[in-house]
Structure 1
Amino acid sequence: LLAWADTRQLQLLHFCLLLGISLAALLGNGLIISAVACGHHLHTPMFFFLLNLALSDLGSICTTVPKAIHNSLWDTSTISYSGCAAQVFLYVFFMSAEFSLLTIMCYDRYVSICK
């Protein structure tokens, strides 16, 4: 992505692509969260895990994408040490939470199929 730093049109394309993808992910996860929270018939363990999966996905998106959008829009490529450490810590935290939730959801489906 640093090779795009020379061309302003490619930086704007990168900005638009990242913004579109992040807005689509935010909208999709927001719809999942609102559907599960508002639908009382969806208060089952599987939808509880789906709600938490959508929340952790929102967290991982909001950890990395805003800085990438900022870098491509304002033509910068720097990040402070503490910002980088926080970004790596939060991303690893949210990804491990997602993997744990997916493992639990797989086990829940395995138990429901076997019984």
Structure 2
Amino acid sequence: MTELREELARAATMLDLGRYDEATSLLARLVAAEPASSRGWCLFARAHLGADRYVEAVEAANRAAAIEPAEEWPHRLASNALMHLGNHAEALRAASESRRLAPSYWQTHVCVAQAAL
């Protein structure tokens, strides 16, 4: 488990540096080895978002949400990708779900505002 955490941290650093393709390769291996990792799927969605692969980002975010239904991050990621795909109604639904799950997080309120625009 510690190794998975370290690899996920490495992938997050790659994403912070804008190295989306490298992160995608690493994350593809990680989620294949540990498909129940919600964080892995969220990072995978983030990598796809950064590389403008919005359909894949929605799919990865939905996988994360299925694993951890009470987590708000997958819904924010899905909302962002859905906005890029022009599916504003679903983007707003996902954003609203993130806010419902974490009403005290400012990020969820920003997500709803962005989707509503």
Give the TM-score band, short-chain normalised. Answer: under 0.3
Q: Could you state the TM-score of these two structures normalised by the residue count of structure 2?
A: 0.26
Q: Could you state the TM-score of these two structures normalised by the residue count of structure 1?
A: 0.26
Bigger CA radius of gyration? 1
Higher helix residue share: 1
Between 1 and 2, higher relative CO (CA 8 Å, sep ≥ 6) is seen in 1
